Structure 1
Amino acid sequence: MLLNGINHLALISGDVERLGDFYRGVFDAEVGPTKPHGDDGGETMTVIAIGPHTELNVVTIDGNHEPDRQTPMWGRGRIDHFGLQAATTGAFETIRQRLVARGASDGAVNDFGAVLSVFFRDPDGLEGEVLVQKPARTDDSV
C-alpha cells in the first residue's frame, strides 16, 4: 500500500471549544490554539490531534450555519476535503505522478513547513490532499 492513514479531516464547527472538550475527553486528543484563518477575518482554525499523524482541522466561519444542519446518514452532503498520509516520500512521489497522469492534479507540491502536500480532485469532484513528512535534514543537506 502507498498510504498509511488519514492525515486530517477539515470540518466546520459552530462551537470549537465544545468539540475540543469532547475529543479531549473521549480520545485524549490534543487541542491546539485557535488561530485566524482565511482572508476575510471571519474565520478561525483549531487543530485537534486525534492520533499520531491524524488531526481534525476545525474551522469556524462567522455567519455559516452548516454546523447547525443535522440530517440523517447519507443525506449529510460533502466533506470539505480530506488529507491522506503517504507512507514515504517515495510513495508520495508515486501518487503525485499517478494523479497527474490521470488529470486529477496539476502536480504542484505545497510546502507547509513540516509537510509537503499535493491537492487533487477525484472523479466525483471531491477535493483531496496527499501529505508526507518532509525528510529530516542532516548537517550535509544545507
Structure 2
Amino acid sequence: MLLDGINHIAWISKDVARLAQFYAEVFDADVGPTRPHGQGGNETMTNIRIGPHTGLNIVVIEGNTEPERQTPMWGRGRIDHFGLQAASPEAFATIRQRLMDNAASDGTINDFGAVHSIFFRDPDGLEGEVVIAKPSS
C-alpha cells in the first residue's frame, strides 16, 4: 500500500479546551498550542496528537454554529464518524474503561468479524470508534 494510515482529521468545535482535556484524559493525547488560523482573524486551530503520525486539527470559528448540529448515524453528512486504532488489546481495555469513566460510552464491545470496536461520543457530540483486531485462533 502507498498509505500508512490517517495523518489528521479536522473539525469545528465550540470549546477546544474541553475537547483537548477529553482526548488527553482518555487517549493520552498530546495537545499542541492554539494558533490563529484562516484569513479573517476569527479562527484558531489546535492540533491534538492522537498517534505517532495522526492528529485532530480542531478549529474554532467565532460565531459558527455547525458544532451544535448532530443528527442520527448516517444522517451526519459525507463523513459520519471516525475510527481510531488501539495500539494493543491492553490499550483497548484501558481506553474502554476511560470512555466509561468519562460517560462517553456504555462500554459495549461490538463484534465486527475480524475486529472488536467501541463507539463513543466526545464532548462536542462527535461520534468516534476505537477498533482492535481480534486475536487469531
CA distance in 1, matches of 2:72, 2:27: 24
Q: Which runs of 5+ in 1 are unaligned?
A: 80-142
> Percent of aligned positions with the same letter in both sequences?
72
User: What secondary structure does 1:6 align onto?
Assistant: coil
CA distance in 2, matches of 1:63, 1:78: 23
The 5 A counterparts of 1:1-142 are 1-79=1-79
Letter of the structure 1 residue corresponding to residue 10 of structure 2: A
Structure 1 residue 77, shift from structure 2 partner: 1.4
Deviations along 1:33-89, one digit per CA (max 9) or x if unpaired, are 11000000000000000000000000000111111111111111144xxxxxxxxxx
User: What secondary structure does 1:64 align onto?
Assistant: coil
Letter of the structure 1 residue corresponding to residue 48 of structure 2: I
User: What secondary structure does 1:2 align onto?
Assistant: coil
Structure 1 residue 8, shift from structure 2 partner: 0.3
Structure showing greater radius of gyration is 1
Q: TM-score, normalised by structure 1?
A: 0.54
Letter of the structure 2 residue corresponding to residue 38 of structure 1: G
CA distance in 2, matches of 1:65, 1:78: 18
Q: Which runs of 5+ in 2 are unaligned?
A: 80-137
Deviations along 1:80-99, one digit per CA (max 9) or x if unpaired, are xxxxxxxxxxxxxxxxxxxx
